[in-house]
Amino acid sequence: MDLLKLTNYIYTTLSMDIKNFNELRVDNTYEFLKKKFVSSRDQYLKGLFFKRKHFTIDEIFGSVTGQLFKYAYVVYLLAYTIRNKISIGSFSALFNYVDVVHSSSYHVLNTFSLLANHLSYASKYFDFIDFPGFGDINPGISRLSRKTPSLELLRLDFAYPDEPDKKVLENISLKIKAGEKVAFFGGDSSGKSSLVKILTGLYEVTSGDYLIGGYSVRELDRGQLKRKIAVTFQDFVNYSFSIRENITLTGEKKKFNRELYNKVIKVCEIDKFMKRENISDTLKLGKYLDGKELSPGYWQRLAIARMLYRNRDIFILDEPFTFIDGPSRDRIIKGVLKFAGPHRTVILISRDTDVLDMFDTIFVLEKGHVTERGDWKELLKKRGRFYKEVRYNQ
């Protein structure tokens, strides 16, 4: 594979699309990509240094030779002009032709020598991605046990720093028990996206508290929350790597787990896709690296499989079926719940009521408030907002 093309692609994935930031930061795929970038960059620069050394020698030789040929041509042109008595205009045109060719050739060669300088800009993004979040600036010392922790929000408020008086979430109090299967339902501007980022530790609580396993998020040692959760964000990332790399990429130092891998590709029906298309999991994906382009639905399946392969205690799915058809969605969510089992927590964020009857508890969000809570049957009996949405979708 073209090392420069691969290096530029990874750098673009790291830096050019801000929507990638959530997944890179929370799931620590940044470390994996950074190592891959550094490796490909180093290989490229090693080859580039060798080429530049010879290029510099050739450039000096070419420059000297070019000037000699240019001067020789001028002498020849003068002699030709005198002998054949050509006009001054013709002489000027012939002279300008060779001058333009000489200058353009030198400019093209000089442009190639600037390639290495452009790679240095990646360090600026590394500084950005390493920017300390609130948990990095003043981390606590508490560490979570190996068991699946409960999650609890206590009178939680959240507002964005640029609009501190406009609360996106207000007075949210709820508890998610270890192993519970929970869904948050709401429409636009309900606060779903902000809630996901609070649960994953991307946003700091404005007031109130967020407890994980009984500890305030402010008390936890750095990285404790990340080790417990795996997320499929609504804005998932399409990595132009192989199918297997898309699923298994991680910043953690873990060996490839074939048994786990086979389970997650079965849950997301990627195994059926590979069999139907007669392709292997080493096939490169994405047009950027001249690989196979997938439909949005299969890119989304890869994102869900990537979350499952991390095999954490808490799985958070943020509107994960946007591009997946209804029957496939039903099969996949059943597979996810079975994969998690009774002792691990699953949290689904959804804007429609489909599949929510599979969950233990449903929280209805409206304009930053929890307006209803209960299981499927309880919410239907209340005949509130949730009941109306179910009836509307039937």
For residue 171, give the CATH number of its domain.
3.40.50.300
On whether both 118 and 265 belong to a single domain, the answer is no
15 and 155 assigned to the same domain:
no
The model's pLDDT over 270-283, given as tens digits with 9 standing for 90+, comes to: 999 999 999 999 99
With beta carbons less than 8 A apart as the criterion, state whether 329 and 355 touch. yes
What distances in angstroms separate CA 151 from CA 39, 164, 182, one per listed residue? Answer: 39, 25, 11
Are residue 47 and residue 156 in the same domain, yes or no? no
Residue 83 lies in a domain: yes
Q: Are residues 292 and 209 in the same domain?
A: yes
Residues 270 and 156 in one domain: yes
Q: Containing domain of residue 178, as a range?
A: 139-393
Tens of pLDDT, residue by residue over 186-222, are 999 999 989 999 999 888 888 999 999 999 998 998 8
Instruction: Give a yes or no: residue 134 inside a domain.
Output: no
Residue 192 lies in a domain: yes
Contact between 194 and 392 under an 8 Å Cβ cutoff? The reply is no
Of 74, 98, 129, the residue that ends a domain is 129
User: Is residue 17, in this structure, part of any structural domain at all?
Assistant: yes
Domain match, 287 and 377 both: yes
Q: What is the pTM of this model?
A: 0.74
pLDDT number for residue 177 = 98
Calpha distance 186→321 (Å, rounded): 15
Number of compact structural domains in the chain: 2
Do 109 and 154 belong together in one domain?
A: no
Residues of the chain with pLDDT under 50: 1, 16
How far is CA 25 from each of CA 38, 127, 205, 240, rounded to the nearest angstrom?
Answer: 18, 13, 18, 19
Q: Which of 106, 129, 152 is the last residue of a domain?
A: 129
Quote the pLDDT of residue 16: 47
* In the block, residue with structure tokens 């209803």: 372
Quickly list H helices, 152-269: 192-199, 243-248, 258-267
Tokens of 369: 């408030």
Based on the domain organization, do 190 and 53 belong to the same domain? no
CA 4 to CA 392: how far, in whole Å?
Answer: 53
